[in-house]
Structure formats: structure tokens, C-alpha cells
Amino acid sequence: MDTTTTADDRDETRSGDRRARRSARRWRAALCCAPALAGLSALAGGTTAAAAARTDSGRHVVPLVFYSSIGYDQLAATDFTKRFHIPVEIEHNPTGAALDQIEASRSNPKWDFWWTDGPTNFALLDSQHMLVRGFEPKVDWNALGREAIPSDGSYVPTGVTIAAALVYNRQRVPHPPTSWAQLLDPQWRGKVGMNDPSISGPTYPFVAGMMQELGGIPAGETYFKDLKANGLLVEPKNGPTLAALASGEIDVALVQSTAAVGATFSDHDLGVEYLSPSTLLPSAIGIDAKAPAAARAEAETFVEYMLSPAGQKIMETGDPTGDSLYYPVLQGIRARPVLPPLASVKTITINPYTWGAREGAIDTWFTQNIVQ
């Protein structure tokens, strides 16, 4: 019998303590509100004003609650705490599960900030007035970063990946598909797999991008129905989908580019292609609009830290076969050489507010018509 402690088990045992801590934090915030960090100059190290506002006789009593779906979150949190003496409590969950938690606790939030792939999630929360607005770090954005910044400053982009990349076994598939339409050919019957968008956060923007490119939701629904009729395999997320590829159950897997490229490091028979067009997928951080002022200031400090040279180094190296395989959003930061130049990939972007509002309905449709 598997006796491993699960994330759900840990959540249950910690819930009472967390509620008590958050009550203490709200009481302190009512007495003292620290200003946000003025800029990146303080990121060389030391205790911030916000951190000082949440100490008691030099002892920190309340951690930031950090919801994360990012692979290097623990490394980032550990280094952040070391530099700023601000404790961080991580709850790591897939994007869909984290979004469910956030929406379920809207009247009494259990989180301070969330970091995940897919701006549609943050656009949805922003439309419900659940995010801090008007915060944009003073950094030197590149074109990808400028394009991903929302006009109301409700979330902050941290990197860009691609959804979905096509990964295949070169020994079994000497000539991989070269278009999305080819996946419907009888040659690929029962040989294509992808993730479930209601569970795998990066998959919904892929589905939305396909619908946008094909001319709208009805045309997109027809495409995915045709894929299902051709034997499409749908797994919850990257791991099971790539396992089906490794076992030979499928020959082609449609997954986020980080997972696709990362899989080639351990299996040199794998190849990666980017069908035209592929959807750009920014990652981002959003801050709870109901967070006390001191917690908000600390969360903003974390965002500024991640966009500093020290934070960018962790992003680049912290998850070398996964989330570190991203395209930067800052001037002067280069993607890892294993990634193809983004200019060589024909990409599209989706409006996160347009498609974020449709996510629940499309995920439900996908579950009822494609997964089941």
C-alpha cells in the first residue's frame, strides 16, 4: 500500500494552523500597513520595510502563502526567504486544481499570490475583481513581455512557452505530421494524445488557440470531435501523455513545449516539431486583491525579485528539463540554446480576457464530448 503523504493530506493537517496565522496577519495589517518596495535597488539583500512590518520582536510570525504550478518554486522561495527574511509557504498544485481552490475561497482567501502558466486564468480572476491592479515592476521588457502585460496591471508576465508542441519517436515516426489537419488522417488513427484542458493549465490556451485559428468555437469543436473520432487519447497532464508515447501506445503527443523539449533530454529518440501556427503561452504571477497591505507589499517584492538577475538565474536553471525551458520576457536575458529561435516558429496569441471568460464552458464541453 502506498503510504506517501499526499498534498491533500498536508493541506488538511495544516488548514487549522493556516487559518489562525491568517487571522493574526489580518489583525496586524489593520494596525500597520507597510509601503511596497520602491524598486529593484533593494534586491541585493536585506530585510524590507514590508518584512519589518510583519515581525514580532524580530521573529516572523506569518508566511506568504504562495500557490504555484511552477517547477522551480521551492528554489525560488528558499532563495527569496534567505535574501529578504520573508517566510514563504508553498502550495503546489496543477493549474486547474489551484484555480478551483482560489475560486472556492473567494470570500475568505487562503492565498497571497499565484504563479502559473496561462494568462486566461488571471484574466478570469481579474474580471471578478480578485486581483491587485496597477502593479507593474520597473524592468526592461522585451517585445514578448510588453505584449503580455495587461492594460490594468492585474498580473505580471514572467516567461513564455508554446502550446502545444508535437513530440514524437523518430524511430517509429520518420515523417511526423506537418500540419494540424494531418492529425485527422487515417495514418494517425489512435496514435495521437494530448492533455485534459480542465486539469492541465497550459492545455486550455492550446485548445482556445486552435478554436481562434479555425474561425471560432463551433469550428474548433468540430476539429476536436474529428480528432476523437480518429482515436484521440486524452490523459490528465504531461506525465501520463508522455508515458503513453514512451510505451508506444501513441506515436504523437501534444504537450507544452517545456515538457516536449525536456523529454528529449532523457530519450534521445524523441523529436519535437511546432505545427503552424502554435499558440504563445505566457506564465504570470497575480496577487490576491484581498491580501493585507503588508502581504501585498511582500508579494510585489517577490515578483520584483523574480525579474531581477538573481531570480532570472533560478528561472533559467531551477528546472532544467521543465519550466526552465522558456523564452524570457526581459531585455538582455536569452533563452536556453536548446530552444529554437522563436522567430523560426509561426505563432499566434489569444486575448486572455476573451478566452478566459469562455474557459469554464469550453472545459465542460471538452470533458463531456472529448474526454468521456
Could you tell me what percent of the chain has a pLDDT over 70? 83
Of residues 112 and 201, the one with the higher pLDDT is: 112
Is the pLDDT assigned to residue 153 strictly greater than 90? yes
Is the pLDDT assigned to residue 369 strictly greater than 50? yes
Average pLDDT over all residues of the chain: 87
Of residues 8 and 286, the one with the higher pLDDT is: 286
Is the pLDDT assigned to residue 209 strictly greater than 50? yes
Q: 62: pLDDT confidence band, cut at 50, 70 and 90?
A: low
Classify 43 in phi/psi space as left (phi over 0), alpha (psi -120 to 50) or beta. alpha
Condensed to tens digits (0 to 9), the pLDDT of residues 91-102 reads 999 998 999 999
Give strand ranges (E) for 106-155.
Answer: 113-117
Is the pLDDT assigned to residue 8 strictly greater than 90? no
The set of cell numbers assigned to 91 is 502550495
Which residue pairs from 243-246 have beta carbons closer than 8 angstroms and sit at least 24 positions apart in sequence?
A: 244/193, 245/167, 245/168, 245/169, 245/193, 245/270
Q: Which helix (H) or strand (E) holds 336?
A: none
Condensed to tens digits (0 to 9), the pLDDT of residues 256-289 reads 999 999 999 999 999 999 999 999 999 999 999 9
Q: Which helix (H) or strand (E) holds 223?
A: helix 217-229
CB-based contacts of 171, cutoff 8 Å, min separation 6: 269
What are the structural domains of the chain? 7-159+283-342 (3.40.190.10), 162-280+343-371 (3.40.190.10)
Is the pLDDT assigned to residue 21 strictly greater than 50? no
Report the pLDDT value the prediction gives residue 372, as an integer from 0 to 100.
84
CB 314 within 8 A of CB 75: yes
What is the distance between the alpha carbons of residues 250 and 247, in angstroms, rounded to a whole number?
8
Report the pLDDT value the prediction gives residue 107, as an integer from 0 to 100.
92
Is the pLDDT assigned to residue 26 strictly greater than 90? no
Q: 210: pLDDT confidence band, cut at 50, 70 and 90?
A: very high
The total of other beta-carbon atoms located within 10 Å of residue 265's CB is 12
Give strand ranges (E) for the chain.
Answer: 55-56, 59-60, 64-68, 88-92, 113-117, 156-163, 165-169, 192-195, 233-235, 252-255, 270-273, 278-287, 347-348
Is the pLDDT assigned to residue 192 strictly greater than 50? yes
Condensed to tens digits (0 to 9), the pLDDT of residues 27-50 reads 333 333 333 333 443 444 444 444
Is the pLDDT assigned to residue 20 strictly greater than 50? no
Q: Average pLDDT, stretch 234-252?
A: 96
Is the pLDDT assigned to residue 206 strictly greater than 50? yes
